[in-house]
Amino acid sequence: MKSILPALLLMAATAAAQTVPTPTPAGNPIIRNKYTADPSAMVQKGTVYLYTGHDEAPARQERYVMHEWLCFSSTDMVNWTEHPVPLRVSDFAWAKDDAWASQVIARNGKFYWYAAVEHGSIHGKAIGVAVADSPTGPFKDARGSALIAPDATPDDKISWADIDPTVFIDSKGQGYLFWGNTTCYYAKLKPSMTELDGPIQTVKGLPRFTEAPWVHEHNGWYYLSYASEFPEKIVYAMSRNLEGPWEYKGILNELAGNSNTNHQAIIDFKGQSYFIYHNGGANTDGGSYRRSVCIDNLYYNKDGTMKRVVMTTEGVKAAK
């Protein structure tokens, strides 16, 4: 008679395997039901508002298809609530298409959304500004025309020079708009946030600048991070003054490997710094034209420089 011990051991092992909890999905990408790209983020009253582009290119079509922007919110950086679409290219009557990178910023109880689009009557990309009474919108065109039209930077020889706006308001209340592709521009904003307050100027000291500028402040330092070369990695410079001089510091975030582009937002929330970016890692059909937003922790050195961001699939822990 054969021993039944091996069979009993196999049954026990099978039962044990069936009781092991199913692993929870990895933290990154953070949004799974849609492709999201070009993130920006804003903290308001204990809530993080995440604004993204929406990659809509069909599977295996290698082109940008983007008609609207999306909004999500979270109180812990892990659980995200999607809100109704707050802004579309069609909300800018003068624009034609291409809901490219954008950023929302608060001022005097209003929320201003700066967004790159294709201009309808002037060849090239342009930057519009929309406004709302709530961070979730709905937003409407604040000007009825482009804030930065394609002919605002006539020395630029590329039609996509005026993209990727980022906005910062300093401690004195002066607003600044930064933007650009291959050349980084900046200009002061009037308190209305819908008009420039002075000439457009060029940022110096940013080697191999490609696009995606993002400006933030930490412990008395200003940081200007941006996408460099192509495929893109994120690098950064530091300054004590928003108008420079800027000192280049090196790589902050390496190539994603599955997305040619890289685009970042940096925020502080509940005592932790976060690096928000996109990659092409969504399953299925993720890639350079179907990107997904991710979040990892950001750390500073004692001298104020930033440590290189470690990209993870686990993502961040819930903020408390």
Which residue in this structure is represented by tokens 């300093």?
Answer: 170
What is the greatest pairwise CA distance in the chain? 95
Q: How far is CA 233 from the centre of its chain?
A: 14
Whole-model pTM: value is 0.91
| DSSP string for residues in 104-155 | EEEETTEEEEEEEEEESSSSSEEEEEEEESSTT---EESSSS-SB-GGGSTT
Rounded to whole angstroms, the Cα distance separating 134 from 94 reads: 24
Q: Which CA distances in Å does 297 have to 32, 40, 104, 213, 247?
A: 20, 15, 22, 19, 23
Instruction: Extract the tokens encoding 239.
Output: 């300054």
Evaluate whether 208 touches 235 at the Cβ level (below 8 Å): yes
pLDDT at 304: 98
Q: Which residue has the tokens 């990309």?
A: 125
Q: What is the pLDDT of residue 96?
A: 97
Nearest alpha-carbon partner for 308 in 245, 238, 233, 212: 233
pLDDT score for 25: 57
> Which pLDDT does position 19 carry in this prediction?
42
Alpha helix ranges (H) inside the chain: 5-19
Q: Residue 133 region, left (φ>0) first, then alpha (ψ -120 to 50), else beta?
A: alpha
Cβ-contact 120, 94 below 8 angstroms = yes
Return the pLDDT at 21.
Answer: 44
- % of the chain with per-residue pLDDT over 90: 90
Q: How far apart are CA 201 and CA 244, in angstroms?
A: 11
Which pLDDT value is given to residue 34? 96
Sign of the dihedral defined by the CA atoms of residues 268, 127, 54, 94, in that order: positive
Please tell me the distance from the alpha carbon of residue 296 to that of residue 56, in angstroms, as a whole number. 25
Q: Which regions in the chain score pLDDT beneath 70? A: 1-26
Phi/psi for 207 (5° steps) reads -65, 140
Residue pair 65/54 in contact by the 8 Å Cβ criterion: no
Structure tokens at 152: 């605002």
